[in-house]
């Protein structure tokens, strides 16, 4: 990939500082507070506007790469001929090698907000092409579930500073390989996906630890990455669990302190066998 710029553009940061007034129970105290940064990034593919993401401006090359892969435009990083960032202006310019005409026809220009709500379009044709059934023989214990979630949270300095970011981590059964943060939980997963593609990290028999709610979109992204076990401290939705059941993904939610809930494919959690 040519013309790839730094992961973080000059002058951009994942956090910023605001002067605030905080009530401490007895009085109002003026203070400085650390706030998560939110900014748009418009991705242009072969000169045409493809999508605008609202994201935390870190690991931008990973984000763009993972997003293109999850949308079905690429399968391998070598399909990107060049990727140039203009983060101060809010643009990522991508040139692809041999973009398949079907991929072009099945995508639509869209705005993708950070809130993961109705502005987030999915169930496109490309989802059906790229969300694959996951096959893994990996099994982990309940204690490993707790350990991996703790490792992810320990890596989340920006979340501890702001309380406003989602976190995702790619793990083995025993250790954290890489972690990414973003205001959008889908962006955090795309950053994981993009980094794994760019660094050629195998996702076979890996685990994703995740801070956010397990929505249907999250399950689809995990399936596209190719990971068979998803750990979260939050709740799943009904559609997410139906998709996880069909796609072969073990979902473990509400991992907090000494409690958790196994929802799908429990055979991969050793105590459930």
Among all residues, which ones are annotated catalytic? 116
Among 249, 273, 234, 268, which Cα is nearest to 144's? 268
Half-sphere exposure of 29 (CA within 13 A, CB side): 9
Tell me the C-alpha to C-alpha distance, in Å, between residue 167 and each of 37, 80, 170, 176. Answer: 15, 26, 11, 13
Find the helix packing angle between 238-247 and 216-225, rounded to 10°. 20
Sequence-ordered alpha helix ranges (H) in the chain: 60-70, 101-105, 125-130, 142-154, 157-162, 185-198, 216-225, 238-247
Q: 174, 150 in Cβ contact below 8 A? A: no
């Amino acid at each position: 990939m040519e013309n790839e710029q730094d992961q973080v553009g000059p002058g951009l940061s994942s956090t910023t500082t605001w002067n605030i007034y905080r009530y401490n129970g007895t009085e109002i105290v003026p203070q400085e507070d650390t706030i998560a940064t939110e900014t748009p990034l418009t991705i242009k593919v072969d000169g045409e506007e493809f999508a605008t993401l609202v994201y935390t401006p870190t690991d931008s090359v990973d984000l763009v790469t993972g997003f293109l892969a999850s949308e079905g435009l690429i399968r391998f990083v070598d399909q990107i001929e060049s990727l140039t960032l203009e983060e101060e202006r809010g643009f990522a310019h991508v040139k692809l090698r041999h973009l398949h005409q079907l991929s072009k026809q099945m995508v639509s220009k869209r705005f993708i907000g950070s809130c993961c709500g109705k502005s987030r379009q999915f169930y496109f044709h490309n989802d059906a092409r790229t969300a694959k059934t996951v096959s893994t023989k990996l099994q982990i214990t309940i204690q490993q579930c707790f350990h991996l979630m703790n490792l992810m949270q320990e890596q989340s300095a920006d979340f501890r500073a702001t309380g406003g970011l989602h976190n995702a981590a790619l793990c083995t059964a025993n250790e954290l390989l890489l972690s990414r943060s973003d205001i959008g939980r889908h962006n955090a997963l795309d950053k994981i996906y993009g980094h794994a593609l760019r660094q050629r990290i195998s996702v076979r028999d890996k685990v994703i630890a995740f801070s956010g709610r397990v929505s249907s979109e999250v399950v689809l992204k995990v399936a596209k990455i190719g990971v068979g076990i998803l750990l979260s401290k939050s709740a799943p939705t009904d559609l997410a669990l139906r998709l996880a059941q069909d796609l072969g993904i073990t979902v473990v939610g509400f991992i907090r302190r000494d409690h958790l809930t196994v929802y799908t494919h429990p055979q991969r959690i050793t105590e459930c066998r």
